Amino acid sequence: MGILSGLFRSRDKPTDRTAGSSYSFFLGGTSSGKYVTERSAMQMTAVYCCVRILSEAVASLPLQFYRYTDDGGKEKAVEHPLYFLLHDEPNPEMTSFIFRETLMTHLLLWGNAYSQIIRNGKGEVVALYPLMPDRMKVDRDEHGRLYYEYTVYDSDDVDGRKGTNKVGRTVRLQPHDVLHIPGLGFDGLVGYSPIAMAKNAIGLAIATEEYGSKFFANGAAPSGVLEHPGTIKDPSKVRESWQATFGGSGNANKIAVLEEGMKYTPISISPEQAQFLETRKFQIDEIARIFRVPPHMIGDLEKSSFNNIEQQSLEFVKYTLDPWVSRWEQAMVRALLTPDEKKKYFFKFNVDGLLRGDYQSRMNGYATARQNGWMSANDIRELENLDRIPAEQGGDLYLINGNMTKLEDAGIFAADGNGKEENSDEEVLELEKQEDQRPGFRRRGQ
């Protein structure tokens, strides 16, 4: 352990803060010259839309807490305290939807989601409170053990009580007191902020949006130079007069009347020449690529059609949502369950409803499952959020088509187990004779 602890301590305090537990963004500077942080990035509609889609998707998925049964199946552990906390109300101030939406937003912007675990005297989890990622520091002590250090301000609620008057004090939390869901990272402990990693792309999107705003604010006309053949005593007054008369989108297309031989010469290229609109559109696709969200989900339908939009939605569930919910499930098992409980319980987000496809495809799938005997009527009704049929009325029966049989039993009605015909010729003749003697019976062809 001495050797391992020495290796752990070597990465306690990385020199580059973007490789550690917090992100300075190097003062938020980007190659476009725009200031980018997690909060300023949310002012971009594409970033806001991607974060909202993913956070609301994870928050709206049914989150269930299951127990393994003795027969190898599973059942909902509704009597366990964690079921109510995560399914309904993690703390007295939040619903489960708001709690998960908040943590997922933190995860998408800062790359980490933290929540303080409140336990009672028995060690049972009684509440979960979100913590701001930009105030959390993850480090190791001199023995190589992890700890979490959180900065608390006056308005914060810590340990279920209002904070003291001390401003900016730090609270040290042990790993069993923190639910930590890390995003993509290099050390497996702390995730990297997607906004920090893609700050140049987001900065360019902000710059193009600001350019468009200023373009229309200046009357949707290129800037230029007012030339006068003589000397102007007060150039600023002429400039302000021109701006007041022709500046702003409300003054667009006004006819300018120039006096005293003045001449207006534009010096800027047009937005079309600068491919302004194409740049804005590309940056929207770039931001969607960062969060792995299909462009049609943020309003870009250029490459979507009725033939592929459903497939893109299914891919969104499989390749975008599934990795996120797996992080959630495994992090909750690691932090909220005891070693003994980990053998008996597990968490599960139900994404089956998002993978069902359209109504006709679902009905065809249900019909196949029902006719082949691996789904009952109640199994189907539960997936469709319908009331169950009572068991005495056959709701739990598993049925198969009567015209299906095993290959080895295909000739069971023609021969017995020894391959001998069940009815000899004499027996067949005797049966026909008995039929002929039945009153009113007439054999075909007679």
Same domain, 256 and 280: no
**Cβ 32 vs Cβ 206: under 8 Å:** yes
State residue 159's pLDDT score. Answer: 46
pTM above 0.85, yes or no: no
State residue 284's pLDDT score. Answer: 83
Same domain, 116 and 210: yes
- Pick the last residue of a domain from 337, 355, 373: 355
Same domain, 309 and 366: no
**Cβ 300 vs Cβ 284: under 8 Å:** yes
Q: Which stretches does DSSP call E strand in 176-233?
A: 178-182, 224-227
- Give the model confidence (pLDDT) of 377-424 as tens digits: 988 888 777 888 988 888 888 888 777 666 666 665 555 555 444 555
On whether residue 62 sits in a domain, the answer given is yes
On whether residue 2 sits in a domain, the answer given is no
On whether residue 46 sits in a domain, the answer given is yes
pLDDT in tens, the chain (446 residues): 333 334 334 334 333 334 344 444 545 666 666 778 888 888 888 899 999 999 999 999 989 899 998 887 888 899 999 999 999 999 999 999 999 999 999 999 999 999 999 999 888 899 999 999 989 999 888 888 889 999 987 655 544 444 444 457 889 999 999 999 999 888 888 998 888 888 888 888 878 777 777 666 665 555 666 676 777 777 777 777 777 776 655 666 666 777 777 777 765 656 555 566 666 777 788 888 889 998 888 776 666 665 667 777 788 888 889 999 999 999 999 999 999 999 999 999 988 767 666 677 778 888 888 888 889 898 888 877 788 898 888 888 888 877 766 666 666 555 555 544 455 566 656 666 666 666 655 555 55
State residue 445's pLDDT score. Answer: 53
Residue 233 belongs to what domain range? 224-267
Same domain, 198 and 281: yes
On whether residue 295 sits in a domain, the answer given is yes
On whether residue 68 sits in a domain, the answer given is yes
Is the Cα dihedral 414, 415, 420, 424 positive or negative? negative
State residue 208's pLDDT score. Answer: 77
SS3 content of the chain, % helix, strand, coil (to 5): 45, 15, 40
- Pick the last residue of a domain from 304, 331, 355: 355
On whether residue 45 sits in a domain, the answer given is yes
Same domain, 254 and 287: no
Token pair belonging to 370: 């029902």
Question: DSSP assignment, residue 390?
Answer: P
Question: DSSP assignment, residue 316?
Answer: I
- Give the model confidence (pLDDT) of 287-339 as tens digits: 888 899 988 887 766 666 656 677 777 888 888 899 999 999 999 999 999 99
Same domain, 369 and 432: yes
**Could you give the 3-state DSSP secondary structure of residue 17?**
helix
Same domain, 41 and 184: yes
Same domain, 207 and 242: no
- Pick the last residue of a domain from 334, 355, 376: 355
Residues 6+ apart with CB under 8 A from 310: 357, 358
Question: DSSP assignment, residue 130?
Answer: E
Residue with tokens 């393994």: 68
**Cβ 112 vs Cβ 133: under 8 Å:** yes
Helices (H), ranges, 253-376 = 276-291, 309-315, 322-336, 359-371
Same domain, 328 and 408: no
